[in-house]
Amino acid sequence: MKNLILILLLISSFHFVTSTKRLEDLSEKELRALITIIKEEYSFSVNEKTDYEGNPNENIQVDLNDHVAFELWNKLNDQDIKNMPEIKDYTDEATATHWLEWYFRINQRFSQISISAQWDYLTNITTENAKKMSDQSLLQTPFGRQTLPIAKEFNKYMKNSKTKDLKLIFGRLATGTMSHNDKDVKKVSKLSSDLESIYGTATVCELNDKKTCHTIEPYLERLMETEKDYDRLLWAWKGWHDECGNKVRPVYLEYVDLLNKDAKENGYDSLADNWIEDYEMGNSTEFENTIDQILKDIMPLYTELHAYVRGRLCKMYPNRFDCHGPIPAHLLGNMWAEEWQDRLYDVLPYPDAPPINLTLLLQKKKISVHDMYKTSEDFFTSIGLYPMTPKFWARSMFEKPKDRDVVCHPSAFDFQYHDDYRTKICTEVNDDYFYTIHHEMGHIEYYMAYAEGQPFVYRDGANSAFHEAIGDTIGMYAISPAHLVKLGFVDKEAINQHYEINYLMRLALQKVAFAPFAYVMDKYRFLLFRDKIDRKHELNTMWWALRIEHGGIMAAAARTDKVNFDPGAKYHVPSNVPYMRYFLANILQFQFYRGLCRIKGQT
């Protein structure tokens, strides 16, 4: 099975061989002085204790000094940057290869520092950590300004090279954006950390108790998944969209303007075209036509699912909404109405054969957060993939800390340094997190697969959708009846036709329902980036117009364009994460799954 991941890996990476050039030696005195500084300043910058209690692995020993050392890395880079190889001929492949060796040696260190600084901030939202990110961004900018035009010049000639690696690498290096204004760089970094902070710290207070307030994770998300009372759901939905979205609005609009400015200065029509470039489809029109067609193909099935669910909800909430119109967004078991599987037991086709309630089962069996992670790891090792590394267990954030503000949105991290892989999840014991753990660990398996023998330049997915699809393929199998039988969670005899149809309904509520939402997330932002939304009169209205047009979902409460910004209540907007990767991954995962089944002889 390990070979299957490697097969997928081969699709996204290519063999590239370079010789490594020795760094200019530091004097012994200078090196010892740097090491002393690092030990004093950075030995305690990494949280070596896991963020949850009762973990049998909490005593795993890792070297406190075995992590990225910001000051040393920056000093080494400062030395190397001054010694860029001379370029006499941009058509010479030996010169190009020599320049790449220099470039990637520096770029890898900068990448390692950036990831570490981001982790520190997301797991401990402080002014100090925000400043550390901003300062590092400003420090790295001159290198980007120096190298981007050189890469573009090399690319003019290497795009016709018979050496495939040079053609591919310079094709990638010649893309992207780089600000030419230090004030803009500093401002973008500040706005970015402010947006993460707004999302991570926003709270909704109880109507009759202003001292009791809740963040999105875990409380508000859990409430949306489990609560049935119409008005309680409305309180949570309106509270979060007001408290988060409204605060995100002014910061995000300023942030987008600066990013768009950078994109245009670097030859793009807008930030939308920069995002679309990741998929290497030639031009934005071709890409957008493709995703339009994909959604069009899905919509007949979605429309039937929507009508079926709406009918059931109308019976649950009589006279609360128009049973022939859009569904209010707060009734679908999710704060953003993006996935509906938490309404499964309200819409089962066959109530006589309900799929196992995995949340109740996990709690009944007294499965701990740690047990869930170990179950996921056991699955990967059982099919010949990698166990998690000691640093994963020692340095990941598995639960929401009680002593500091964090961004809870689940993420996997590749520190690109010494087997340092981590996950950041405010885990609770339920079926959604059981899926999420497998998904995020799937990312880490992919990180480890392409770290094995691949040079730094190719340690990434074929595109962002490919990465997400691998995580989703694994997550989908983790909740399948076949896997739950293997875990002893379900009796094989219980799996009959009605059970399987109910399970397929669960998948439809999660996967089919997701497609229009994922589509609208970037369709809306593309319009915003291209200045096709009147910010005064339709900034929020356009969002809901698209949600209704493409998904039949409407705002749960009255909204206004003067203050509301409901897209900003979804993590990926303030964090500026493109969402088309999830839309396409929603298709790719089934193609991957089909391919794996065929290899196993199951068609």
| Number of Cβ within a 10 Å radius of residue 282 | 9
Whether the Cβ atoms of residue 180 and residue 136 lie closer than 8 Å to each other: no
- Provide the sign of the torsion angle of the four alpha carbons 56, 58, 63, 67, taken in this order: positive
Token pair 């996935």 is found at 339
Rounded Cα distance between 263 and 272, Å, is: 9
The total number of residues written for the chain in this structure: 603
Q: Which of 196, 440, 445, 467 is the catalytic position? A: 440
Whether the Cβ atoms of residue 421 and residue 377 lie closer than 8 Å to each other: no
Q: Is 67 annotated to bind ligand?
A: no
Token pair 């054969």 is found at 353
Token pair 């495939």 is found at 164
269 phi, psi to nearest 5 deg: -70, -30
Separation of CA 502 from chain center: 29
Rounded Cα distance between 302 and 296, Å, is: 10
- Provide the sign of the torsion angle of the four alpha carbons 451, 453, 454, 456, taken in this order: positive
Using alpha carbons, select from 140, 132, 146 the residue that is nearest to residue 182. Answer: 140
* 3-state SS class at 423: strand
Q: Is 582 annotated to bind ligand?
A: no
Rounded Cα distance between 556 and 281, Å, is: 38
Measured torsion, CA atoms of residues 406, 396, 223, 322, in degrees rounded to the nearest 10:
90
Q: Is 157 annotated to bind ligand?
A: no
Supply the DSSP string of 318-365, one letter for each residue.
TTSS-TTSPEEGGGSSSTTSS--GGGGGGS-S-TTSPPP-HHHHHHHT
498: annotated active-site residue: no
- Provide the sign of the torsion angle of the four alpha carbons 514, 518, 521, 526, taken in this order: negative
Rounded Cα distance between 22 and 235, Å, is: 61
CA distances from residue 162 to 159, 168, 172, 565 in whole angstroms, order as listed: 9, 11, 16, 50
- Identify residue 555 by its one-letter amino acid code: A
CA distances from residue 580 to 191, 204, 597 in whole angstroms, order as listed: 23, 29, 26
| Number of Cβ within a 10 Å radius of residue 30 | 11
For residue 254 the two structure tokens come to 């300023």
**Residue 190 burial class via C-beta count within 10 angstroms: exposed 0-12, middle 13-18, buried 19 and up:** middle
Whether the Cβ atoms of residue 575 and residue 409 lie closer than 8 Å to each other: yes
572: annotated active-site residue: yes
* 3-state SS class at 552: coil
Rounded Cα distance between 461 and 447, Å, is: 9
Q: Is 439 annotated to bind ligand?
A: yes
**DSSP, res 453:** S
Measured torsion, CA atoms of residues 296, 297, 301, 305, in degrees rounded to the nearest 10:
-40
* 3-state SS class at 57: coil
Q: Is 581 annotated to bind ligand?
A: yes
Q: Which residues are annotated as a binding site for chloride?
A: 279, 581
Q: Which residues are annotated as a binding site for Zn(2+)?
A: 439, 443, 468
Q: Which residues are annotated as a binding site?
A: 279, 439, 443, 468, 581
Active site residues: 440, 572
